[in-house]
Structure 1
Amino acid sequence: MTRLRPPRHRVEHRAVRWWALQSLALFAPLLAIAIATHVFWEAARPWTLVVAAAAAVLLLVGTIVEPWWRYAVHRWEVTDEAVYGLSGWWVREWRVAPISRIQTVDSVRGPFEQMLGLATLRVTTASSQGAIDIVGLDHEVAAEAAEKLRAVTQRTPGDAT
């Protein structure tokens, strides 16, 4: 029987930059729009200052605090029995998926991940909770893990339902 236990491996250190870039891409435009609105639209100045301050706080937290916090939390492991994942920064999700329940294994690489040589290993199971996403892996490590899962699931009896 597979038991819930802490996964052994940390994600790639470059994931910190990836998470920071995601926050930067989300909150920097909001801050820029708020500042531009404050400068060019005099009637909106009372509320644009509040929006700019909130965007600045979110930008700082999202690019400095969140990435390091997530890096401290995120763990993963693939064994012959199960896939283990621990993720989150505000709400932590700790999941284990027995090999016999795996339906698909995918490697996902967005633009920032490609730029940093990272990938997300997505393991879809017969669970109503959805896929286990192991983010922030070196793209070669993700490919090796996907290949290992393909081989292990091929020789594991069961119908993954």
Structure 2
Amino acid sequence: MRRLHPRIRVVWLLRAAVLAAVVGGILFGLDRVLPLPVAVPGWAPALVAGVVFLVVGGHALLRYRYWRFELREDAIYLERGVFTRVRTVVPFVRIQHVDSRRGPLERVVGLASCVVYSAGSRGADVRIPGLPPDGADDLREDLKRLAIGAEGEDGV
């Protein structure tokens, strides 16, 4: 099983920091705008933001630890999840199309994602984050080739 690039942790930690800043900012703004029945100390929003960052950042680090994927002869296999482990199998014959993407944070740290769209179920897309840009393009091309080769096979 292949692991994600270690720099994906930076992306996930940056997202945790943004979420913590938003939560802290909202609490700070609410304290200034709405008259609260209880006095809120000035350091409370910062404390809440710190706790949010620790929880979400810790989750991001654990998420990296359990994220894996593998191309086998008939399908792509994925394992992920911190609290609930999810194992996904996408048969090549079910793949409709494949994209490679680079969001703003991914571009900053030099990473990309590969998104696999499959037929037959709701939310039928699988995103593999934390790939080097060339690796995402190579994976996209490999999946395209394998999906075309599996076209005549039964998807069940």
1:81-120 alignment to 2 at 5 Å? 81-120=74-113
Give how far 1:35 is off: 3.2
Matched, 1:144 2:138: yes
Give how far 1:66 is off: 1.4
Q: Which runs of 5+ in 1 are unaligned?
A: 1-7
Give how far 1:96 is off: 0.7
Relative to structure 1, the CA distance from residue 75 to residue 152 in structure 2 (aligned partners, 3 Å threshold; closer, same or farther) is same
The CA distance in 2 between the partners of 1:48 and 1:106, in whole Å, is 48
Q: Which runs of 5+ in 2 are unaligned?
A: none
Which deviates more from structure 2 when the two are superposed, residues 125-134 or residues 42-51?
42-51
Could you tell me the TM-score, scaled by structure 1's length?
Answer: 0.80
Give how far 1:42 is off: 8.2
The CA distance in 2 between the partners of 1:61 and 1:139, in whole Å, is 29
The CA distance in 1 between the partners of 2:96 and 2:154, in whole Å, is 6
Quote the residue 1:3 is aligned against.
none
Matched, 1:12 2:5: yes
Name the SS of the counterpart of 1:66 in structure 2: helix
> Given the alignment, which residue of 70, 83, 101 partners 2:63?
70
Give how far 1:92 is off: 2.5
Percent identity for Structure 1 against Structure 2: 29
Name the SS of the counterpart of 1:44 in structure 2: coil
Relative to structure 1, the CA distance from residue 31 to residue 158 in structure 2 (aligned partners, 3 Å threshold; closer, same or farther) is same
Aligned CA RMSD, in angstroms, stands at 2.6
Could you tell me the TM-score, scaled by structure 2's length?
Answer: 0.82
Q: Aligned residues, how many? A: 152
Question: What's the CA shift string for 1:67-100, capped at 9, x where partnerless?
Answer: 2101111001123421111122233221011111
Name the SS of the counterpart of 2:38 in structure 1: helix
Amino acid at match of 1:14: R
Q: Is the 8 Å Cα contact of residues 12 and 136 (structure 1) preserved in structure 2?
A: yes
